Amino acid sequence: MGAGRLGAPMERHWGVSASSVREPAPGGPDGRRREPLRRRANSASASAVGASASAEGVRRDRPGSYSGATSASRQRVESLRKKRPLFPWFGLDIGGTLVKLVYFEPKDITAEEEEEEVESLKSIRKYLTSNVAYGSTGIRDVHLELKDLTLCGRKGNLHFIRFPTHDMPAFIQMGRDKNFSSLHTVFCATGGGAYKFEQDFLTIGDLQLCKLDELDCLIKGILYIDSVGFNGRSQCYYFENPADSEKCQKLPFDLRNPYPLLLVNIGSGVSILAVYSKDNYKRVTGTSLGGGTFFGLCCLLTGCTTFEEALEMASRGDSTKVDKLVRDIYGGDYERFGLPGWAVASSFGNMMSKEKREAVSKEDLARATLITITNNIGSIARMCALNENINQVVFVGNFLRINTIAMRLLAYALDYWSKGQLKALFSEHEGYFGAVGALLELLKIP
């Protein structure tokens, strides 16, 4: 949370989960373990210890503060405050599964500037912009690149890079090898990993992290990215006829009047925020049944190893072999409760029977897992929207990356169960908003 947030009028409770989810990295799969939602933890919790004291009310230290900063770094911070920061400009979001990194590549560098540019800075720029993959697991989402962006008076391109959190030590090591600390730069980082890896950054990389609240960053990032669009196209979109593969269409949505807005961030877990204005929002709830659950269960049930693989299997499976539907019980619609026959009565309900367990494929199981988790998120989001009296719901987070099945299902479920009252919206840069928010914080862009 940003500095000063504690006494602020809005009640936010927890942090958001971060966004990313498992993205596998290019080179390999890995995306898996990612992202748990950070403090959101509160979401589900059940764990043992008396966790019930929920998180709210809990004191958090303010990110945004430079704990234990040395006087040198304090100076740096001071200078930061006065003018725009030195290059390089990064925003970092370290989730439980994935690290999201945004990098601003200035394109308006003058010859003079280029001359002055220190070697290490130049090498970073060249390394990041001339590759689309880094090591075996880092990936640049080239299709998401935002071109000709003006930030703090500088023109350039914004790059979106992700790698698994378990490669964080290698990243820090690289920072040390490339002598980042000599650049006098500040790393603005959000996500739980900003805390978890803070000490490593300091002792190994001689880098001081500026820790930022993930909910603040998330909201800031979304609003900003939506305002700049997507290289001339709309950032935000929705689905028309989501249940009909023939007629289903992805259409742009104008989020010019975003408030109030229910923001559902599906990372490893899920956080749900009600946003009333740029800086008035609260965390409504969260659930531990998120992208991490989908991927984790798929690994156990099918032996798959990447998020892509899990989704690919799901796309070929049939969940109705696994789930017990209303029509399996009532022979058709259950009119008394207004339940359509196709609705799932019991997720995995058919798996109570030995014969049916033996008759399902891994693809069917992957599909059922995806449907179960997605429906549940939709259902919780819908109840939150009703309780908060909000009818626009924006779903973000890396669970949705390349996951059209889930997006269409969310769109359909929200529309169907709310009888058209609720609209599900999505955003092109689904998992990167936290990192963008961190970058904005670095640049002091309000």
DSSP, collapsed to helix, strand or coil, labels residue 419 as coil
- Are 223 and 258 in contact, with CB atoms under 8 Å apart? yes
Token pair for residue 428? 């092109």
125 vs 166, beta carbon nearer another protein = 166
* Cα–Cα distance measured from residue 160 to residue 169, given in angstroms and rounded to the nearest whole number: 20
DSSP, collapsed to helix, strand or coil, labels residue 239 as strand
* Cα–Cα distance measured from residue 209 to residue 39, given in angstroms and rounded to the nearest whole number: 19
Q: How many residues bind another protein (CB under 8 A)?
A: 87
Select the span of 51-59, 133-141, 227-235, 429-437 touching another protein (CB under 8 A): 51-59
The structure tokens 């914004």 sit at: 158
Least spacing, CB of residue 82 vs another protein, in Å: 30
78 vs 355, beta carbon nearer another protein = 355
| Contact positions with another protein (CB under 8 A) in 312-331 | 322-324, 329
Token pair for residue 183? 């650049």
DSSP, collapsed to helix, strand or coil, labels residue 37 as coil
Phi, psi dihedrals of residue 330, rounded to the nearest 5° = -105, 0
Of the candidate residues 5, 154, 184, 196, the single one contacting another protein (CB under 8 A): 196
Residue 113 annotated among the catalytic residues of the structure: no
Of the candidate residues 6, 8, 54, 206, the single one contacting another protein (CB under 8 A): 54
- Are 294 and 397 in contact, with CB atoms under 8 Å apart? no
Of the candidate residues 22, 76, 283, 401, the single one contacting another protein (CB under 8 A): 22
Catalytic residue among 198, 214, 308, 430: 214
Select the span of 53-61, 169-177, 226-234, 401-409 touching another protein (CB under 8 A): 53-61
Select the span of 75-83, 85-93, 146-154, 188-196 touching another protein (CB under 8 A): 188-196
Helices (H), 229-361: 291-302, 307-316, 326-330, 354-359
* Cα–Cα distance measured from residue 107 to residue 436, given in angstroms and rounded to the nearest whole number: 19
- Amino acid identity of residue 352, one-letter, is M
| Contact positions with another protein (CB under 8 A) in 59-88 | 59-61
Select the span of 124-132, 194-202, 239-247, 424-432 touching another protein (CB under 8 A): 194-202
Least spacing, CB of residue 134 vs another protein, in Å: 22
| Contact positions with another protein (CB under 8 A) in 348-367 | 348-352, 354, 357, 365
Beta strand pairing call for 187-190 and 324-325: unpaired
DSSP 8-state class, residue 59: -
| Contact positions with another protein (CB under 8 A) in 372-401 | 372, 375-376, 379-380, 383-384, 386-387
88 vs 193, beta carbon nearer another protein = 193
| Contact positions with another protein (CB under 8 A) in 420-439 | none
What length does the chain have?
A: 446
Select the span of 300-308, 407-415, 419-427, 435-443 touching another protein (CB under 8 A): 300-308
Phi, psi dihedrals of residue 245, rounded to the nearest 5° = -60, -30
| Contact positions with another protein (CB under 8 A) in 84-103 | 95-97
Query: Is 46 an interacting residue with respect to another protein (CB under 8 A)?
Result: yes
CA distances from 114 to 106, 107, 117, 122 (A): 11, 11, 5, 8
Of the candidate residues 19, 23, 33, 437, the single one contacting another protein (CB under 8 A): 33
| Contact positions with another protein (CB under 8 A) in 263-292 | 267-269, 285, 287-292
| CA nearest to 100, candidates 228, 272, 186, 218 | 218
* Cα–Cα distance measured from residue 393 to residue 408, given in angstroms and rounded to the nearest whole number: 14
- Amino acid identity of residue 402, one-letter, is I
Query: Is 262 an interacting residue with respect to another protein (CB under 8 A)?
Result: no
85 vs 290, beta carbon nearer another protein = 290
Query: Is 412 an interacting residue with respect to another protein (CB under 8 A)?
Result: no
| Contact positions with another protein (CB under 8 A) in 93-152 | 95-97
Catalytic residues: 214
